[in-house]
Amino acid sequence: MTGVRLLGLGHAVPDRVVTNAELETALDLEPGWIARRTGILERRWAAPDDTLSGLAVAAAEAALDDAGLARREIALTVLATSTPDHLLPPSAPRVAHRLGLTASGAVDMAGACAGFLYALVMAEGFVRAWRRPVLVIGANLLSRRINPAERGSSVIFADAAGAVVLAPGGTGGLRGAALGSDGTGYDLVHIPAGGSARPFAPDLPIEDTRMTLTDGKALFLGAVRLMTETAREALEQAKLTADAVDRFVPHQANARLVDAVAHNLGIPPEKVARSIAQYGNSSAGTIPLSLSLSHRAAPLRPGEIVLMSAAGGGLTGGACVLQV
């Protein structure tokens, strides 16, 4: 029994549903503009008093309840997010404290859209090495980082969280993993100010503290390439073909990206987990959200092969093959 078990899954989204009609009216867009370009029909946005840590706690509570483990057994909490409650300190210790994980280490991971996948790969390695359970969360409040002046990006981003619990035992776990990056695309999507390279200043324009897409086409093409290449490499490591994949859970940037990567890999639509139409793009939140929703609709079976792939800002990306 030297494998890793996927013991629990959960997700959480804010109550507020933001429809395309609402945004199309606010942005003076013709009806149907958003759906045609993105495949998104609605998304969830947090209320003014909601916090990233609160949403992460809600998703984690669901995953921990599903796992049925005592809280004291969790050895590590990894939170993948690009929108922490504060720039400093990290949000993961607050999340672990609110969950009552008194024996858990806790750390944030800023991997943009690929953050959850990186966190999952590293957490799985921790479980194998130290034989202790780990909680992995992907969560973002991207509505707080939207630049309304950019129509193409402001209609995409959303708020959501998903979580999984990994534990030692069984014969499952990662059979293949491939992580990649392409720093030539570093500025394709970014927040110009607020970091150490350009700190906050009294005269800083508010739009410089919001997400900016400098070249949407280049970002799309780079993400498709990185997701496809790493997915093929992860399958090769696992000594599997795409035909062996039971469930494909890609990052949900937009419907065209999901379709393009699935087509490149030869994975039929019925095997693709999708959440983009109802929940939009929550960056690191999309894969655990999609996985949890897919599991709720059709429970994961022992031995099932799940392929996950993501790419986003940085460019940072990767893929992994998980045997349940």
Chain segment 187-208, per-residue pLDDT in tens: 999 989 989 899 999 889 988 9
Chain segment 52-64, per-residue pLDDT in tens: 999 999 999 999 9
| Domains of the chain, CATH where assigned | 3-170 (3.40.47.10), 175-323 (3.40.47.10)
pLDDT score recorded for residue 153: 83
1 confidence band (pLDDT: 50, 70, 90)? low
Is 281 catalytic? The answer is yes
Average pLDDT value over all residues in the chain? 96
Name the amino acid, one letter, at 119.
A
pLDDT score recorded for residue 162: 98
102 confidence band (pLDDT: 50, 70, 90)? confident
What is the pTM for the complete model shown? 0.96
pLDDT cut 90: percent of the chain above it:
88
Which residues, in sequence order, are CB contacts of 273 under 8 Å at separation 6+? 247, 248, 249, 250, 290, 291, 293, 294
pLDDT score recorded for residue 152: 80
pLDDT score recorded for residue 151: 85
213 confidence band (pLDDT: 50, 70, 90)? confident
Point out the catalytic residue in the list 11, 20, 113, 140. 113
pLDDT higher for 75 or 216? 75
Is 320 catalytic? The answer is no
Residue range 98-118: average pLDDT?
95
pLDDT score recorded for residue 150: 85
Contacts 24+ apart (CB under 8 A), 293-299: 293/11, 294/247, 294/249, 295/9
Order across the sheet with 76-80: list the strands.
4-12, 159-168, 134-141, 76-80, 105-109
Is 254 catalytic? The answer is no
pLDDT score recorded for residue 232: 98
Residue range 14-27: average pLDDT?
96
pLDDT score recorded for residue 2: 79
Point out the catalytic residue in the list 20, 147, 254, 281. 281
pLDDT score recorded for residue 103: 84
Chain segment 273-317, per-residue pLDDT in tens: 999 999 999 999 999 999 999 999 999 999 999 999 999 999 999
Q: Given the structure tokens 């014969």, which residue do they identify?
A: 171
Point out the catalytic residue in the list 11, 140, 147, 251. 251
